[in-house]
Structure 1
Amino acid sequence: MKTKVNFYRGALVMLMTFLMVFVSHITQAQERWSFEFRPGVNFATKEMGEVNLNTGFGAEGTFAYRFIPHLSVYAGWSWNKFGSNEKINGATLDYEESGYTFGLQFIHPIGDSKINMLARAGGLSNHIEVEQGGDVIADSGHGFGWQVEGGLAIPIGGKWSLMPSVRYRSLSRDISIENVETSMDLNYLSVGLGLSFKF
């Protein structure tokens, strides 16, 4: 009987120890995750192939996980659209870039301020679609590109932050329009304002 009591007592102590470690881990892991929604305005830095792109716009949603102080990994999805003056059969062509983003994010306080510096560097797995009158007439297929970004992370209360930033993005794809294959280098600056929530 005494052996059973000792067994149950030992099992209870082990269970309580496990629960304390588990709860402690959960508490420490709080606010390691964040989600950011970032709309932006895009400015092509050069022609894409022979196409002169107009000012574009887009949006991105990303999740980030902070695995050590100040440094996180992030992944998300983005969509960006550019108009142009190019026409086929009298109809203007638009260009959409969309796909997946991933990389590293560094956020660090600026001195004693509550404002933080923000830096990101990462890759893309995106494709370019050509649209005419709302219909997709060509698709490059997904391929890899890269991006770098700098900005600020400004706490606005609770778990929320504003994240203004400037980003440079580069993606090179081949695309066929009316049986003519063209190499397209999409390079642009994006000025955006993200809204981030930690959890």
Structure 2
Amino acid sequence: MRRLNRIAAAVPMMLISTVALAQPGTLPRWSAEVSGDAAFPTRTLAGADLQTGGGFGANVRVRLQPHLAAYAGWEWHMQQTKQLLPGETLDLNDNGYTFGLRFEHPIVGTTKGWLRAGGLYDHIEVENADGKTIHDSGHGLGWEGGAGFTLPLGTRFALTPGVRYRELSRDITVGGRTRSSTLSYVTTGVGVAFSF
């Protein structure tokens, strides 16, 4: 009987808590974001210069504390080089998963600043001009860090411009030669986030 009384007392408390979380003015627990960006290489890849590229991605965030959230998502970026294989322009596609923590704090009015740090679980695909994959590095761990702003567009939507640094080290095999390489670049872009 005591257990039944405890359950009977707990149910209304849970309902009150659920209603309170749904009230206007409380911070949404979840958000989703889609983004696009330009990618500027910061070093050569296996001795080859890379051209400026770009990419896109999506992530989901869950708020752990008022200013701290965990994120996880997927991203794709592409850059080109004419120096890995003489006479050929090759596309370097790195894609895979991102995960980490994001700190966000009000700066001025409704504008917030954010910092992000986390890991990558990506692979690099090398494609020829016909779009055929001539090498896949296999997935491996890398890291990223970034900063930017959250500019609200109403109560649920926001623009999230920002800058990030991303780095991934993998072996690349092109033309029968395997070389250890590090793909590193800075992205500048903007996302659209939706809170729920």
- With the length of structure 2 as denominator, give the TM-score of the two structures: 0.89
Q: CA RMSD in A?
A: 2.2
Q: Distance in 1 between matches of 2:19 and 2:136?
A: 44
What whole-Å deviation, never above 9, does each CA across 1:32-67 have from its counterpart, x for those lacking one? 100010100000011111111101010010000001
How far off its partner does 1:176 sit?
A: 1.5
Counterpart in the other structure of 1:84: 81
What whole-Å deviation, never above 9, does each CA across 1:167-192 have from its counterpart, x for those lacking one? 00111001212321111111100001
Number of equivalent positions: 190
- The equivalent position to 2:11 in structure 1, one of 12, 15, 18, is 18
Q: In the alignment, does 2:46 pair up with 1:49?
A: yes
How far off its partner does 1:89 sit?
A: 7.2
Task: Please say which of residues 177-186 and 65-74 is displaced more in the overlay.
Answer: 177-186
Counterpart in the other structure of 2:113: 117
Counterpart in the other structure of 1:177: 174
Task: Please say which of residues 82-91 and 152-161 is displaced more in the overlay.
Answer: 82-91
Q: Distance in 2 between matches of 1:58 and 1:85?
A: 19
SS, match of residue 91 in structure 1: coil
In structure 2, the gaps of 5 or more residues are: none
Structure 1: which amino acid aligns with 2:11?
A: F
Q: Distance in 2 between matches of 1:160 and 1:88?
A: 45
How far off its partner does 1:27 sit?
A: 4.4
Q: Distance in 1 between matches of 2:37 and 2:19?
A: 35
How far off its partner does 1:25 sit?
A: 3.4
In structure 1, the gaps of 5 or more residues are: 1-6
Q: Distance in 2 between matches of 1:50 and 1:105?
A: 34
How far off its partner does 1:20 sit?
A: 4.1
Q: In the alignment, does 2:97 pair up with 1:100?
A: yes
Counterpart in the other structure of 1:126: 122
- With the length of structure 1 as denominator, give the TM-score of the two structures: 0.88
Structure 1: which amino acid aligns with 2:38?
A: V
Describe the shift of the 1:139–1:13 C-alpha distance in structure 2 as closer, same or farther (beyond 3 A): closer
Percent identity of the aligned residues?
40
Q: Distance in 1 between matches of 2:10 and 2:140?
A: 49
Q: Distance in 2 between matches of 1:96 and 1:16?
A: 56
How far off its partner does 1:90 sit?
A: 4.1
Counterpart in the other structure of 1:39: 36
